[in-house]
Structure 1
Amino acid sequence: MKITPTRIPEVLIIEPQVFGDQRGFFFESFNQRDWEKETGLKTVFVQDNHSRSTKGVLRGLHYQIRHAQGKLVRVLVGEVFDVAVDIRRSSPTFGQWVGVKLSAENKKQLWVPAGFAHGFAVLSDEAEFLYRTTDYWAPEYERGIKWNDSTIGVDWPVDFTPLLSEKDEKGIAFIDAEVYD
């Protein structure tokens, strides 16, 4: 696997080695030994989540204030623009974001460490999204920041009005959000 740090060094782009021919392709989407060797992280994943969304859906920016989740995310069908926002007050990159296009075609994955808010916008007609997490879902600690918060200023590459869940419509301003120390 090829590991590329983003402008926020803890957020990583992971590109697997893909073997393909006229029959199709094969790649290892995750290998614990290689993960630890290449990233230096002794990460334990406890839950896999799979979502399907149609074009125009935007999910996020989500995080859990307790039981913070690191997420290894990838797209199985379609394409999304995936975003990680640093919400660790003590971090030199506090309030900054990174975004990357993930697709079934490019097979890239994004490592979103604990301490980050996460979201994505669906760019294709549909997308299936898989995320592997380091802690269990704890709805009582789930929080959301407005996807279009001007303080953060995510430059979403969308030419449509996003379709939001009721929960995401109620996202709060970054300045008012509970964040990590």
Structure 2
Amino acid sequence: MTITERAGNETEALRDCLARWPSGVAVVTTMDRDGARRGFTATAFSSLSSSPPLVLVCLDRSADCSPAFDAAEAMAVHLLRDDQEQLAMRFATKGADKYAGLPSTPGLARVPLLDGVLARLECELVNRFDGGDHVILIGRVRRSEVFAGQPLIYCGRAFRSLPPAESPA
């Protein structure tokens, strides 16, 4: 069924189509002007360039933390492990105190860094672009770290895990 064949709701038809594309799950954090920790869950994250090292992430303009990212000078992108579905849901929930009981340490520009993730990128925010109902944040990677684990995947409107990797023979 094409978008035009679906009676009346083009947005939902597009969402149905895109739900079939698997993506990793990330939590993106920053600090607002008042020193409050802010963040959101993202599945729209990508490497943009290796020279210079750039990444992009898309943020819904209606997100509670959107004003903080509009003014931020830095962000941290935390790639989640397959056992971190609750962390993803915490940062995806509007109005929630996302950091309640959650330890973090200050990183680049005091941006909160979360422990226990699959990988972490600390980025200087270098540009923002209009993306319709989203803003596209471009970050220059200043530091990156990799830790053990398997990635959390989002596909078909559900969290999933990759099958265990086979040991080399």
Query: Does TM, normalized by the shorter one, top 0.5?
Result: no
Looking at CA atoms only, which structure, 1 or 2, has the larger radius of gyration? 2
Q: TM-score, normalised by structure 1?
A: 0.23
Structure (1 or 2) with the greater helix fraction: 2
Q: TM-score, normalised by structure 2?
A: 0.25
